[in-house]
Amino acid sequence: MGIITIAFDDGYKDTFKHCAELLTENGIPATFAIPSSYIGKTLENRDVISEEDVKYLVNNGHEIAAHSLTHRNMLDVFNSEGEKAVKSEMKRSKDILKEKFGGRIESFVFPFIKNNQTSSLRTLASEYYTSSRISTESFAFNELPVKDPYSITGTCITTDIPMAEYEKLIEIVSKKDLWLIEVFHLVSDKNTKSAHRDAPYRFFTHIDEFKKHISYIKSTGIPTLTQRQVITRQNL
C-alpha cells in the first residue's frame, strides 16, 4: 500500500473556507502551498487566505509549504534575472512564512504547471528545503521509497477529467508502493474566471465532489500524509 498527499496550491480563501475544517475533522493533514507575498491579498482575481487562516492551518496539524514569494515561474525568473533572483524568491518566501507563523517550512512547491523546473533550480531549492514539487496535468506517481526528494511530482485535479478517473489512481496506490499527490487549487461551491483568461477556471473542484472524494479516500485506509511527513518518514 502506498501514500496519498492532499495538496492545495495558491492559498485561495474559498478553498480554505470549504476544505480546512473538513479535513481537520476527518483527521487528514494537508499541504497548503502559499505564495508568501499574497497572504491577505488577491491572486488571479481571487482572495488569498489571511494570516489568521494560516495560523489555523498550523495549529491544526496541516503543513505550510513555500510557493515562492511572488508566484512567478522560477525558470522565467532564472532566465531573465539570474540565479540570485531565484534564490531570493526561495529564501525570502521561507523566511517570511517562518517569521510570521513559526514551525517548519521545509517543502517548496514550484508555481505553474509546465516549464518551471530544471536540475539547476532543484539544486537551488535544496539549499533551503528538504523537498520540492512540481505539478502536472498528467497522471503521476512517485515511487516509494523516494529516491530524489527534489523531483517530486503532483497530479493537478482539473475539470477536464471526472473525479472517478482520479479515484482509479487511488485504487492503484492501494495495491502498490506509490505516492500520489493530489493537487487542488480552487475548491468551492462556484467557479470563477482568472485574471488572464475569460473562461471558467480549469483547476476547479466543486465542494460536493471534494467531500465525496475525501470520504472515498478514507474508506480505502490508505495513509494520508503531508509532503513533509512523507519525506521525514523516508529519512531524506
Confidence category of residue 229, pLDDT binned at 50, 70, 90: very high
- pLDDT score of 115: 67
Tens-place pLDDT, residues 101-111: 998 999 999 99
Tens-place pLDDT, residues 168-215: 999 999 999 999 999 999 999 999 998 888 899 999 999 999 999 999
What's the rounded Cα separation, in Å, for the pair 43 and 140?
A: 27
| Least confident residue range of 25-34, 92-101, 162-171, 195-204 | 195-204
What's the mean pLDDT in 47-62?
A: 98
Q: Which long-range contacts (CB under 8 A, 24 or more apart) does 96-103 make?
A: 96/36, 96/37, 96/69, 97/34, 97/36, 97/54, 97/64, 97/66, 100/39, 100/51, 100/54, 101/51, 101/54, 101/55, 101/58, 101/64, 102/58, 103/58, 103/64
What's the mean pLDDT in 3-7?
A: 98
Q: What percent of the chain clears pLDDT 90, i.e. is strictly above it?
A: 93
Residue 179 is classified by DSSP as E
What's the rounded Cα separation, in Å, for the pair 230 and 86?
A: 26
- pLDDT score of 51: 98
Side chain identity, residue 164: A
The architecture in CATH of the region 3-233 reads: Alpha-Beta Barrel (3.20)
Q: What percent of the chain clears pLDDT 70, i.e. is strictly above it?
A: 99
pLDDT for residue 13 is more than 80: yes
Confidence category of residue 20, pLDDT binned at 50, 70, 90: very high
Residue 229 is classified by DSSP as H
Question: CA torsion 20→110→104→1, rounded to 10°?
Answer: 70
What's the rounded Cα separation, in Å, for the pair 34 and 63?
A: 10
What's the mean pLDDT in 215-227?
A: 97
Please count the other Cβ atoms lying within 10 Å of the Cβ belonging to residue 125. 25
Grid cell, residue 139, equals 497522471
What's the rounded Cα separation, in Å, for the pair 190 and 183?
A: 18
Q: What share of the chain is helix, strand, coil (3-state, %, to 5)?
A: 40, 25, 35
Confidence category of residue 236, pLDDT binned at 50, 70, 90: low
- pLDDT score of 235: 75
- pLDDT score of 103: 87
**Residues 106/150, Cβ–Cβ less than 8 Å:** no
pLDDT for residue 92 is more than 70: yes
Name the nearest CA neighbour of 163 among 115, 225, 213: 213
SS (H, E, C) 52-95: HHHHHHHHCCCEEEECCCCCCCHHHHHHHHCHHHHHHHHHHHHH
Round the average pLDDT of the chain to a whole number and report it: 96
- pLDDT score of 234: 83
Residue 12 is classified by DSSP as B
